Amino acid sequence: MKTLSFSLLLLFVCCCHAMPSSQQCNTTPEKCCLKFSSAIIPAKNVTEIIRTSSCCPHQAFIATTSRGKEICYKEDFKWAKKTFDRLNKPKDAEGSS
């Protein structure tokens, strides 16, 4: 069993070094999502919404509520995408809508 574990670790290390440097993750990403919500929360309760790191196993959005709770949404969840776009709109584009 130790040999198998060592072999898998060695394979993982070799694969990591084979990736282009722009796609390497030097450390474990701070925030990744493993469980996802489908509950839509009122937009007024969302203080921030960010994308997870490209190093995460699942691409997602993390919404932070006014109470500090972080909720994960899948990348293709329309409400999360719309909220992300709205909250991250460039300041000069806000007046043109």
Q: What is the pLDDT of residues 60-97, one digit of tens each?
A: 999 999 999 999 999 999 999 999 999 988 766 555 54
CA distance 80 to 96: 22
Domain membership flag for residue 8: no
User: With contact defined as beta carbons under 8 Å apart, do 34 and 42 qualify?
Assistant: no
Domain membership flag for residue 2: no
Domain count, the chain: 1
CA distance 74 to 8: 29
- Could you list the residue range(s) of the whole structural domain that residue 86 is in? 25-90
Enter the pTM of the model: 0.65
